[in-house]
Amino acid sequence: MRKDFFVFRHGQTDYNLANRWQGSGIDADLNETGLAQAESLAEKVKDLGIEKIYSSPLRRAYQTATAVAKKTNAPIEIMNELTEGSVGACEGLFREDVQKKYPDIWADWYGEKMNMETRWPGGESKGEIQDRMFVAFNKMIKTNEKVIGVASHGAAIRYFLVALGYGPHKMENTALFHIIYNDGKWVFDKVM
């Protein structure tokens, strides 16, 4: 049994623009640029045969999923496991302030070693985020759809992809990835 997943990050918010961390606790809307990015993404995926879109409950992901749904005529289902990772005490802070306040965690979070136990104070570890994403994808492989869109977030997507051998990497807003599940195996196909 093969399933194709087109996984995309949400469009830009004012928090992204200002280099402030949102995490799972800040539910910001897409800004004007983010709405335009979502429209461009929708054009890019409109002919891929997406049958259903599973989305994080956070507005920025859902608004991006909505733009894609309008072009693909695919229904959207909220899946809480697709939400962004919690960055705890760092939510709402500027990136540069987080880096200054927690230099050791910063080095581990963005380092090449991929210590999956790394977490921000009061937040989820990389491993917990990854495990939660696998719960979501394992639910999706049990559905009837063969081609699925997934609207999620930077850290959530990143640590899922790390398990498939891709990353660490910087991820732009509306970054798009093709992942294949076939006969019990996950395969990272490409960045689109």
| Percent of the chain residues past pLDDT 90, beyond the cut | 90
Q: Which residue has the higher pLDDT, 3 or 190?
A: 3
Segment 101-120 mean pLDDT: 90
Global pTM? 0.95
- The top-level CATH class assigned to 2-191 is alpha beta
Q: Are the beta carbons of 10 and 34 closer than 8 angstroms? A: yes
Which of 81, 84, 91, 145 is the catalytic position? 84
What is residue 141's predicted lDDT score, i.e. its pLDDT?
96
Q: What's the pLDDT band for 167 if we cut at 50, 70, 90? A: confident
Q: How many residues comprise the chain?
A: 192
Asked whether residue 178 carries a pLDDT value surpassing 70, the answer given is yes
Does 10 participate in catalysis according to the annotation? yes
Asked whether residue 168 carries a pLDDT value surpassing 70, the answer given is no
Asked whether residue 6 carries a pLDDT value surpassing 70, the answer given is yes
What is residue 97's predicted lDDT score, i.e. its pLDDT?
97
Q: What's the pLDDT band for 46 if we cut at 50, 70, 90? A: very high
Q: Are the beta carbons of 149 and 45 closer than 8 angstroms? A: yes
Asked whether residue 130 carries a pLDDT value surpassing 90, the answer given is yes
DSSP assignment of 71-118:
HH---EEE-GGGSPPP-GGGTT-BHHHHHHH-HHHHHHHHSTT--TT-
What is residue 170's predicted lDDT score, i.e. its pLDDT?
80
User: Buried (b) or exposed (e) across 35-55, using 16+ Cβ within 10 A?
Assistant: bebbbebbebbeebebbbbbb
Please give the Cα distance from 66 to 80 (Å, whole number): 16
DSSP 1: -
